[in-house]
Structure 1
Amino acid sequence: MKKIILIASCTLALIARENPFVPDDINITTLDSTNINQNAPQLDKVIAKFPSDARELVSATFSYKSVDGSIKQKSIDINASFDWHDDIVISSQSPVTDEATPALDVSVTTTGEQTKQAAAKQAAPKPLSIPPKIEPPLKSVAFMDLIKFDIFNSKIEIINKDQMIRDFIINKPDKIVIDFKKNVEFSTQTIKVNKGPLKKATIGAHKGYYRVVLFLDGNYHYAIRQSGNGYTLTLR
């Protein structure tokens, strides 16, 4: 029995491969190895939108995957105001390098004629400054001959001749209520606007005054002051 076991062991040793981890036909099988994980798609552009009560960006925190696969965070201070209507865009770009510009040492000799020309140029009258451009309203709507609204991006010009007696704001939905002193009679009407911050305006008559309700597209702080043609409502 011992002789049989010895003979069998020798036979197996003769037919065994030198390296059992190498395939039978090394010309057919490709031996590849990698420790690189499949990455997410290349960052192009990400657009973030904010609710209507957002006014300042304080900081941004990014969660990222490091080379070893762990999740880490990077925070960036911003501290800047912005318009919540705008899109905040996150994109990737190559770093900008500032190449040093060689300084040029140029010696200039001024002749007498050049001095006269320079003095004449300085004495020449300066061109008149260009007056600032007047911003046209995005839309203007009027109700009877009673009141008119000029709508801009961040303000509403209320054109009328009546005394304002009160104003207040109501949320959910966001709207500003303004009462003007005047005895008038008319049925309540709503004017659709959908321009700038104003979605619609409702005007209704009451005893001794009429009420204007301005429905806004979001949450705002507001200030109202008397102006030449009526009142200016500023939104921020």
Structure 2
Amino acid sequence: MMKVLIAIFLLLSSLSARENPFFPSDGEKEIPYTTNENKTLPDLKRATITLPSKARILESVTVKYKNLDGSVESKTIEVENTIDWHLPLFISQSYYEDSEKTQTKTKEKVKKTTTSQKAEANEKVGSIPFADFYISGKSFKINTKDKLIRNFLMTQPHRIVLDFEKDATLHAYTKINPESVFSKIRVGNHSGYYRVVLELDGYYKYKLEEVTEGYLIQLK
């Protein structure tokens, strides 16, 4: 009788025992663990990204990060703001006092830039016998009495082409503007018209309108 009771006890014990005591049973939650990987990385100060010249609107920003347990996740914030592709984007991490210093420096830089732009407004950058060229930021003005007969956009390099009606002798003209979005101005003579070519520093759309003194081009 004793042997029978011992046999039944052992059978019941084997049925309720867990297959592997080192893993959680059904219904139990796994306990988070940390990685033992010994990897020393520098603290984040500032990371920079420069967007291509076609970029105009920043829709969102996604940050991919690694957790303490070694898993990788990401977080996205919606932005929906226009941007100037000439300026890089930054991601940084700093204390509050450092942030205040950065904001102060940024305001000073913006103030200087605004003052500089006002000083360079409608700056004359070149001329030919029957036309003067002015640049103000993303605007290009051609002061001329000649009639514009056609205008179009070309690529490689990205440039705006304008043909003006005039039967005149004109030597080839070139003006380089390294600090401007209108990086180069070229003028050439053709039969019955002369051609003004405005090479751009990136990809743009443009709007052309006739004004009192001539024609105004605005980049978008």
Instruction: Classify the secondary structure of the residue corresponding to 1:199.
Output: strand
1:115 corresponds to which residue? Answer: none
Q: 1:155 to 1:73 in 2, by over 3 A?
A: same
Question: Does the aligned pair in 2 maintain the 1:139–1:195 contact within 8 Å?
Answer: no
Q: What is the CA–CA distance in structure 2 between the aligned matches of 1:41 and 1:193, rounded to whole Å? A: 40
Counting only pairs closer than 5 Å after superposition, residues 6-21 of structure 1 correspond to structure 2 as none
2:8 corresponds to which residue? Answer: none
Give 1:194 deviation, angstroms: 1.9
2:39 corresponds to which residue? Answer: 38
Residues 12-67 of structure 1 deviation map (CA, whole Å, 9 limit, x = unaligned)? xxxxxxxxxxxxxxxxxxxxxx9574342111111211111000001111110011
Q: What percent identity do the matched residue pairs reach? A: 35
Give 1:91 deviation, angstroms: 1.1
RMSD: 2.2
Q: What is the CA–CA distance in structure 1 between the aligned matches of 2:153 and 2:199, rounded to whole Å? A: 10
Q: What is the CA–CA distance in structure 2 between the aligned matches of 1:199 and 1:220, rounded to whole Å? A: 13
Q: What is the CA–CA distance in structure 2 between the aligned matches of 1:60 and 1:222, rounded to whole Å? A: 28
2:183 corresponds to which residue? Answer: 199
Q: Which runs of no fewer than 5 residues in structure 2 stay unpaired?
A: 1-34, 98-116
1:60 corresponds to which residue? Answer: 61
Question: Does the aligned pair in 2 maintain the 1:151–1:195 contact within 8 Å?
Answer: no
TM-score (norm 2): 0.69
Q: Which runs of no fewer than 5 residues in structure 1 stay unpaired?
A: 1-33, 97-132
Instruction: Classify the secondary structure of the residue corresponding to 1:194.
Output: coil
For the pair shown, which has the larger CA radius of gyration, 1 or 2? 1
Q: Which residue type is aligned with residue 217 of structure 2? A: L
1:231 corresponds to which residue? Answer: 215
1:84 corresponds to which residue? Answer: 85
TM-score (norm 1): 0.65
Aligned length: 167
